[in-house]
């Protein structure tokens, strides 16, 4: 008879071999379900908790990591041979995912919400259900109420508030010939937060509050420990802690306690803002022409919700109002802030493109006056710079959908490496891809935005591609698409055009030579690769972006 330790070892080996066999069978079943469509094979599902932890380990085949996907851009599709590739994993459960970079297929996915609904991301229902996390039918209800809040009058208010804050920044800079910053985000992040606070929630913040610590007298009298600005910034910077750490465990670490305090403070501020708007009732503001109006998004959102209730329909609950206000605040200012920062960095890396933009702005404003909202539609190159930045650095790199039933998608063949956007005969081929029910589908904005089928020389910074009307609207996913497209698109565009126009009109944007070494003979692309390193949070963001602003003569 074998000794007990040997029996135990044998049992362990037998169990291990059984487990490997079981995982192998599950993997083969997953491949058969998609007709062995080419793609990435991994052990762990990258969307799982353990996958999130394992994705940064440099072990091939362990998990398909987000950083590697960003670095590879369109390459996984070239490796697949098609503008789609599969991802299969077996732990913690068998999982099949399709990533898509085909504009026509993406348009079908976005429009056919019955077959390709968006999963409900309840984790982001931080204060209540909202447009971003709700299922299709609930989101439709939220959107119906929220859409009118983003009006043309509100867009004008966005421009005015952006101009006000930029003027305050310039006043702080004074008559200095050069102003150097450690990161462009130090400017764009508070700028975007201040704009959305004023134009979306009727709560103007002065630029000086960006550096003032503590609470104001009014905030302290309401029982606040953190000022509004500090509370929002602190929560946004610690949002993953609040989302992923159980409430009962937040008190275990200093960062957890900080996140919990910021969450509670923001909740109180949101509740106060909603109560304040309700207390105003029908009181309206007066515009410069003596007309009465309410322009901020929150006032319009509450009014639209109350109108639904008055007509016998379902209004948004208090928690739903709060949930939507927070999502507008969080998603709205983060995405715009980061895209603006990338845009400033790109203009510094490509001085000839900055000169083109400056010349264009001067042609729109030949009399030397400052731009206003009425100039928005003629500042086409400024918008083109913003679009090209959003193409190269999409804030949301992928959008999740899933197949509600067995279905198929028609997919183009991918452009082979080295074709540089030139049409290749094989790229006109198509294949029909079988998508099993419950398969996750990732609309890959990075792959789409770097797809040579739609963008010639896709790695180059070329705002000119957006200066004509013949670019493919379905190939730009900066603001999502279909029924779940971004309600705040015009809000973001208006803010970006106003900010970039006013900054470029007054200052030349350069690299901060004290913090960023200049390498002789380096191409703009090489400089860009060193300067614009990308971090991964809920959105794509610049890691560090040191710039200098030199006052124009």
Rounded CA-CA distance 318/475 in Å is: 37
| DSSP letters for 232-275 | HHHHHHTHHHHHHS-GGGGGGSHHHHHHHHHHHHHHHHHHHHHH
Q: Is the peptide bond before 476 cis (omega within 30 degrees of 0)?
A: no
Place of tokens 């009109």: 505
Rounded CA-CA distance 521/347 in Å is: 18
Q: Which regions of 246-349 does DSSP assign to beta strands (E)?
A: 285-286, 292-293
Written as six digits, the tokens of 421 are 């956007």
- The helix (run of H) or strand (run of E) holding residue 486 is none
Give the CA distances from residue 314 to residues 141, 208, 299, 310, 319, in Å, rounded to whole numbers and listed in that order.
9, 42, 18, 9, 14
| DSSP letters for 434-485 | EE-TT-EEEEEHHHHHT-TTTSSSTTS--GGGGSSTTS-GGG--TT--GGGS
DSSP code for 224 = -
DSSP bridge pairs for 39:
86
Nearest by Cα to 329 from 476, 184, 166, 205? 205
**Is position 486 annotated in a ligand binding site?**
yes
Place of tokens 């764009």: 188
Written as six digits, the tokens of 160 are 């005015």
Asked whether 469 and 463 are in contact (CB, 8 A), the reply is no
Report the 10 Å Cβ neighbour count for 499.
Answer: 27
Rounded CA-CA distance 29/94 in Å is: 9
Rg (CA), the chain: 25
Place of tokens 């309840």: 122
* HSE-CB for 50 with a 13 A CA cutoff: 10
DSSP bridge pairs for 407:
435
Rounded CA-CA distance 379/360 in Å is: 8
In terms of DSSP bridges, do strands 547-551 and 507-511 run parallel, antiparallel, or are they unpaired? antiparallel
**Where does residue 355 fall: left (phi above 0), alpha (psi -120 to 50 degrees), or beta otherwise?**
alpha
Place of tokens 């394992």: 54
Rounded CA-CA distance 193/505 in Å is: 23
| DSSP letters for 145-192 | HHGGGS-HHHHHHHHHHHHHHHHHHHHHHTT-SEEEES-THHHHHHHH
Rounded CA-CA distance 343/493 in Å is: 13
Binding-site residues from annotation for heme: 486
User: Residue positions in the annotated binding site?
Assistant: 486
């Amino acid at each position: 008879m074998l000794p007990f330790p040997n029996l135990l070892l044998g049992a362990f080996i037998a169990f291990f071999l059984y487990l490997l066999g079981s995982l192998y069978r599950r993997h083969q079943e997953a491949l058969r379900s998609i007709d062995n469509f080419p793609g990435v094979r991994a052990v762990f599902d990258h969307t799982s908790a353990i996958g999130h932890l394992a994705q940064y380990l440099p072990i091939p085949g362990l998990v398909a990591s987000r950083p590697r996907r960003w670095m590879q851009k369109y390459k996984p599709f070239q490796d697949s041979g098609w503008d789609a590739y599969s991802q299969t994993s077996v732990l913690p459960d068998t999982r099949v995912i399709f990533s898509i970079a085909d504009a026509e297929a993406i348009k079908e996915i976005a429009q056919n919400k019955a077959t390709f609904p968006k999963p409900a991301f309840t984790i982001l229902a931080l204060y209540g259900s909202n447009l971003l996390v709700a299922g299709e039918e609930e989101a439709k209800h939220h959107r119906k109420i929220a859409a009118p809040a983003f009006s043309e009058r509100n867009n004008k208010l966005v421009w005015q508030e952006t101009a006000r804050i930029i003027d305050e920044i310039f006043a702080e800079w004074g008559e200095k010939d050069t102003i150097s910053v450690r990161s462009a985000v130090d400017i764009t992040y508070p700028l975007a937060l201040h704009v959305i606070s004023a134009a979306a929630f009727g709560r103007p913040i002065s630029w000086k509050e960006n550096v003032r610590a503590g609470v104001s007298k009014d905030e302290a009298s309401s029982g606040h420990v953190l000022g509004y600005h500090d509370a929002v910034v602190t929560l946004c910077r610690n949002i993953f802690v609040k989302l992923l750490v159980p409430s009962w465990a937040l008190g275990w670490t200093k960062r957890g306690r900080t996140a919990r305090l910021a969450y509670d403070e923001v909740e109180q501020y949101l509740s106060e803002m909603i109560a304040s708007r309700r207390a105003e009732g029908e009181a309206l503001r007066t515009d410069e022409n003596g007309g009465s109006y309410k322009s901020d998004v929150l006032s319009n959102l509450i009014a639209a919700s109350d109108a639904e209730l008055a007509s016998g329909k379902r209004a948004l609950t208090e928690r739903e109002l709060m949930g939507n206000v927070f999502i507008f605040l969080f998603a709205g200012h983060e995405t715009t802030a980061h895209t603006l920062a990338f845009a400033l960095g790109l203009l510094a890396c490509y001085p000839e493109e900055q000169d083109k933009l400056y010349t264009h702005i001067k042609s729109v404003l030949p009399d030397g006056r400052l731009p206003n909202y009425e100039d928005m539609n003629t500042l086409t190159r400024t918008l083109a710079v913003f679009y090209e930045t959003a193409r190269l650095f999409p804030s949301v790199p992928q959008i999740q959908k899933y197949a509600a039933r067995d279905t198929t998608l028609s997919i183009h063949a991918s452009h082979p490496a080295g074709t540089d956007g030139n049409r290749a005969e094989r790229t006109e081929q198509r294949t029909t891809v079988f998508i099993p029910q419950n398969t996750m589908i990732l609309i890959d904005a990075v792959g789409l935005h770097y797809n040579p089928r739609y963008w010639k020389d896709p790695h180059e910074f070329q705002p000119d591609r957006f200066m004509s009307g013949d670019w493919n609207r379905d190939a730009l996913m900066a603001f999502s698409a279909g029924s779940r497209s971004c309600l705040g698109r015009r809000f973001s565009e208006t803010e970006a055009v106003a900010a970039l126009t006013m900054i470029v009109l007054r200052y030349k944007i350069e690299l901060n030579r004290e913090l960023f070494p200049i390498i002789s003979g380096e191409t703009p692309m090489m400089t860009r690769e060193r300067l614009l390193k990308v971090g991964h949070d809920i959105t794509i963001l610049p890691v560090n972006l040191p710039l200098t602003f030199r006052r124009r003569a």
